[in-house]
Structures are given as C-alpha cells and as structure tokens.
Amino acid sequence: MKQPLRPVSNVDLPRYMGDWYVIANVPYFAERNCYDSIESYALRDDGKIDNWFTCRKKSFDAPLKRKSNAVATVKDSRTNAVWTVKFFGIFRAKYLILDLDPNYQWVAVAHPSRRYGWIMARSKTLDGTQYQKLLHAFAAQGYDPEKFKRVPQSASPTSTKQSSQ
C-alpha cells in the first residue's frame, strides 16, 4: 500500500487564484485532445473557490471554450493545500497541492488515487529543469512520471476572459 500523499504546508489562497496553464497532466477523458488548457480559480465571498477549465479541442485553430465549471472547498484550513472539487453539482474529487513555487509561478496538483495529476504554470512554458523536478516530486510520492504528457500550448497569450460558454 502506498503512503498517503503529502501536500505542501501552506497555500496563500488569494495568491493561488487566477489562471494556471496546464503544462502536463496524466491524461483522462475530460482533458484528452486539449490544446491551450487553462485551469482558473476565483475565491468567493463564502470562502469556496470557483474553478473552471478552458481549452481548445484537437487543434490550436479550434475555439477556446469553457469545458467545465466546478466549486472547490478547502478541506484543510491549516494548510489550504487539500480541497474537494465538486463538478456538475454531483461528482466530488480530492485536490492536493503537492509542490508550489514560493512565487506562485508553478504548481504540482495531485489526486489520492495517483491516476490524475497536473503540472501547471502562470506562463505557457516551464523551464525543462523545473519540469523534471516536478516529475521527480510526483515520483517521490508514488506516481509514475511516465504517465504525464505535455499539453500543447500556443505561443500567443490566452486568457479565460476571452473564453465563451
């Protein structure tokens, strides 16, 4: 049996909010064939977090569309690194922040099953050395780093403000 995942000791939620470009993930049905993927977060007045996912399907020429809306709840208020994300008002998924840049420029996000994982950054690219360090951080917590696949990101800036429903 694998050890439980060990999230970071502290997340400043206001700093974490905003757009994160998905640099790599463990592919699953909802994110397969996505280009220019962006995870976005906004802190709500009730303390919960609005979370939405935007991408282009199958090519950079496809329109940028919002693919999902969710609401996250912080489950460990001591660290703010363990969340539950509720999709479509029905499905719940755990969200653990495993590694986070002190300047909030990159993040590694995990799921306890280790079947899902994300490497995200504030910009569309991530230094190759830092990318390898994050894969190593996942491996140290029981992930198979070979399962992570890069997500194509175009060279031009993208913002979820341009996205449509």
Whether 159 and 36 have beta carbons less than 8 Å apart is answered as no
How far apart (Å, rounded) are the C-alpha atoms in residues 107 and 67?
Answer: 21
The overall average pLDDT reported for the chain is 91
Whether 88 and 71 have beta carbons less than 8 Å apart is answered as no
Task: Output the six-digit token pair for 110.
Answer: 């995990």
Share of the chain above pLDDT 70, in %: 93
CB neighbourhood size of 42 (10 A): 12
By CB atoms closer than 10 A (0-12, 13-18, 19+), residue 1 is exposed
User: Is 144's pLDDT higher than 90?
Assistant: yes
As a whole number, mean pLDDT of residues 50-54 equals: 95
Task: Name the one residue in this structure whose structure tokens are 């986070």.
Answer: 100
pLDDT category at 158 given cuts 50, 70, 90 is: low
How far apart (Å, rounded) are the C-alpha atoms in residues 126 and 47?
Answer: 30
At residue 2, the pLDDT reads: 77
pTM > 0.85: yes
Q: Which residue has the higher pLDDT, 91 or 42?
A: 42
Task: Output the six-digit token pair for 32.
Answer: 């397969």
**DSSP 3-state of 27:** coil
> In this structure, what DSSP letter does residue 164 have?
B
At residue 156, the pLDDT reads: 65
As a whole number, mean pLDDT of residues 101-122 equals: 97
User: Is 160's pLDDT higher than 60?
Assistant: no
At residue 161, the pLDDT reads: 44
Task: Output the six-digit token pair for 138.
Answer: 């996942």
At residue 31, the pLDDT reads: 87
As a whole number, mean pLDDT of residues 112-116 equals: 95
User: Is 20's pLDDT higher than 70?
Assistant: yes
How far apart (Å, rounded) are the C-alpha atoms in residues 138 and 143?
Answer: 5
